[in-house]
Structure 1
Amino acid sequence: MKPPERNTSAAELSCEVCGLMPEPHKARLTLANVAVMLPIELLVHALVVETHLPYVAKVLVLTLTATVLVIWVAEPSAARMLRSWLHAPALSHRRKLGAAPALWRARTVLRDEPGSLQRLTRALARTGTNILSIHVHPVADGVLDEFVLSAPGHLGERALLDALHDGGGTRSHVWHTTALAMADGQTRALSLAARIADAPDELPLAVAELLRARVLSPADAALVKHDAGTLLKIPTAWHGPITFVRPGEPFTPAESARAHRLAELAETLAHRPAVPSQWRTPN
C-alpha cells in the first residue's frame, strides 16, 4: 500500500529528527481555535438548553462536553485543517530563504581560443547565474577557469554542471561555498605569509588553510596510490615532505606555486639567525 503523501507545509517545516512542527504564532492559533470551537459550542448549547435537566446539571453537561470536544476535536482539527494558514509566516520566510541566491565555487576546463569564455558566460546567464570572480590557470589541454558563482536558490549542482557543459566546459566540478571565497588566493596567501613570518613552524597548518586541504601523516601519504591531482607534496628541509590532500578537487598550478613559495619563506625564516636584542626596534 502506497503511504499517503505528506502535507506541503509539514514537509517543509517539520523537524527532520522528531517530526514536530514549529509553534505557530499565538494570535493565529487563537483565531483558528475560535473558528473551530464556535460551531461546536453553539451546537452543544442548543442541544442541552432544550433538555429538561436541572440548571446545575445543564451547566455540568455543557462544561464537560465542551471541554472534551475542545481537547479531542477542536484543537486537533484546527491544527490539521488550518495548518498552512497557521504556519504561513514561517513558510513565507523559509521560501524566501530558499529562493535567495546561493554561492558556489566552480571549475571547468575550456579550450584556449577566442569566444570560449563568452559561450560559457552566456550559458550561465540563461540560468540566472552571475559570475562574481574568475581565475584562469593554464593547463595542458586548454585553460582551467575557477569561478565564484551566485546562483538562484532553486538551482542545484546538476543544473550548474549542465550549464557549464552547455557552455563548452569539460571536467567540471561545483561546490557550495561562502562569502569567504570572495577573498582571492593572493590575498589569503599574503595573510598567511605574515602568519608564517611570525611562526615558521605553522607552515603545515597555514598551507592547509590556504588550500582548504587536509594534512596527511607520512604513514597515510605512503598509502595513497592514485591521486588524480588531489595530492600535493611540498619538500622542506626541517619538516621533511609535507603532503596535503583535497579529495574531489585537484590542485591548480597556481595553488601549488603559492604553497611552495610559503614553504620557501618558512624555511628561510627558520634558518635566519636571531636578531640580537640590542638591535631590535623598541615597541
Structure 2
Amino acid sequence: MRRTDILACEVCGRLPHPRRTRLALAKLAAVFPVELALHALVLHYELPYLATVLLLTITTTILVIWVVEPSAMRMLGAWLHGPELRHRAHVHSADQLWRIRVRIDDRPGRLEMLAKQLAHRRANILTVHVHHLENGVLDELVVATPAEITSHILESAITRAGGAVVGIWPAAALTLVDGQTRALSLAGRLAADPEELPLVIAELLGAHYVPSAESADASGVVLEIDAPPMTFVRAGEPFTPAEIARAHRLTDLALAVTRQG
C-alpha cells in the first residue's frame, strides 16, 4: 500500500490535486530527460526536417502521456502530496475529541466544578452549550483529551462533579461547528430542494428518519412532527428544546418554499 493511498477519496478513489508548483516541478523532472534523449537521438541520425518533427511529436506524446508522466506521478507521489500527508499525520496525532451530554443542577458553581474535574483528567473544554429543561440543566460539551483518556475516566470526572451522564461519544472536528451554523447550512440545502426535509432534519438531529409504516416499531427517544407527519428516533439521547425548535423551523421553511414553487 502506498503512503498516498490514505488520501484517496472514499467514493471515487482519486487522490487530491497536488499543489501547482510541486506538480509543475514533478512533470518537468519527468519530461525533461525524455525530451533531451529523444532530441539527441534524432539529431545524431540527421533525419529530414519533416521526419524529425513527426518523430519527436508522436514519440514524445506517447511516452510522456502514457508512460513517463504516470510513472513519475507514482514514484513522486509521496513528495507531491507531502503537505497533505503531513497534515493527515497531525490530525491522527491530535487529541481525541469527545461529545458529552450531562445533567447538572441549575446552581451557581456547578459548571465550574465540572470544568475542574475534567481539567484534572487533562480534558480541555472546547465548546459548551447549555439547554435549560424543566427539571434541570442539560450541558453539551465538546472536549479534547490525550489519546489514553477513555470515556470511563470522563464519566468518573462528571460523577465526582455531581453530574449525571446522559451520553459520551467520540467526536470529529465537524462537531466543533456550532448548531446555528449547521442549521443555516442545512436550511440552504433545504431551500434548494424541499423534498429533502426528512433527510435534512435527520442529519441536523443525528437521528434516524422512520417512515410512517414503521413508526409503531421505533425504539429509542422519539420525536414526532405533525405537518407533514414525520418520526425521528435517536437511541439513548433526548432531544433538547433547541433541537426540536430547529426541526420545526426547518419544516416551516420547506412548506414555505413548496408553496412559493
| TM-score higher than 0.5 | yes
Give the CA deviation at 1:222: 1.4
2:60: which partner in 1?
none
2:226: which partner in 1?
235
CA distance 1:125–1:243, change in 2 (3 Å): same
Task: Please give the TM-score of this superposition, normalised by the length of structure 2.
Answer: 0.63
CA distance 1:264–1:98, change in 2 (3 Å): closer
**Aligned pair partner of 1:187 in 181, 184, 200:** 181
Q: Which deviates more from structure 2 when the two are superposed, residues 111-120 or residues 164-173? A: 164-173
1:163: which partner in 2?
157
1:140-180 CA distances to partner (integer Å, 9 max, x unpaired)? 22110000110111111111111111112114310011000
Give the alignment's Cα RMSD to 1 decimal: 1.8
8 Å CA contact 1:131–1:149 kept in 2: the answer is: yes
8 Å CA contact 1:136–1:146 kept in 2: the answer is: yes
2:103: which partner in 1?
109
Give the CA deviation at 1:252: 1.0
2:135: which partner in 1?
141
| Structure 1 runs not aligned, ≥5 long | 1-95, 275-283
**Aligned pair partner of 1:248 in 208, 211, 236:** 236
Q: How does 1:1-283 map to 2 (within 5 A)?
A: 100-224=94-218, 227=220, 230-236=221-227, 240-272=228-260, 274=261
8 Å CA contact 1:98–1:153 kept in 2: the answer is: no
Q: Name which one, 1 or 2, has greater alpha-carbon Rg.
A: 1
CA distance 1:211–1:126, change in 2 (3 Å): same
Paired with 2:192 and 2:93, the residues of 1 have a C-alpha distance of 44
Paired with 2:182 and 2:155, the residues of 1 have a C-alpha distance of 27
Paired with 1:173 and 1:269, the residues of 2 have a C-alpha distance of 36
Equivalent pairs counted in the alignment come to 172
8 Å CA contact 1:98–1:154 kept in 2: the answer is: no
Paired with 1:165 and 1:260, the residues of 2 have a C-alpha distance of 34
2:72: which partner in 1?
none
What SS is found at the alignment partner of 1:154?
coil
Give the CA deviation at 1:254: 0.7
1:48-102 CA distances to partner (integer Å, 9 max, x unpaired)? xxxxxxxxxxxxxxxxxxxxxxxxxxxxxxxxxxxxxxxxxxxxxxxx9997520
Paired with 1:178 and 1:172, the residues of 2 have a C-alpha distance of 19
2:61: which partner in 1?
none
CA distance 1:155–1:216, change in 2 (3 Å): same
What SS is found at the alignment partner of 2:101?
strand
| Structure 2 runs not aligned, ≥5 long | 1-89
State the identity %.
46
8 Å CA contact 1:99–1:152 kept in 2: the answer is: no
Amino acid at match of 1:243: T
1:62: which partner in 2?
none
Give the CA deviation at 1:270: 0.8
Paired with 1:151 and 1:211, the residues of 2 have a C-alpha distance of 25
Q: Which deviates more from structure 2 when the two are superposed, residues 242-251 or residues 110-119? A: 242-251
Q: Where has structure 1 moved over 4 Å in runs of 4 or more?
A: 96-100
Q: Structure 1 or 2: larger helix share?
A: 2
Paired with 1:97 and 1:164, the residues of 2 have a C-alpha distance of 27
8 Å CA contact 1:233–1:242 kept in 2: the answer is: yes
Paired with 2:94 and 2:251, the residues of 1 have a C-alpha distance of 40
1:104-152 CA distances to partner (integer Å, 9 max, x unpaired)? 0000011111101000000000000000001000012211000011011
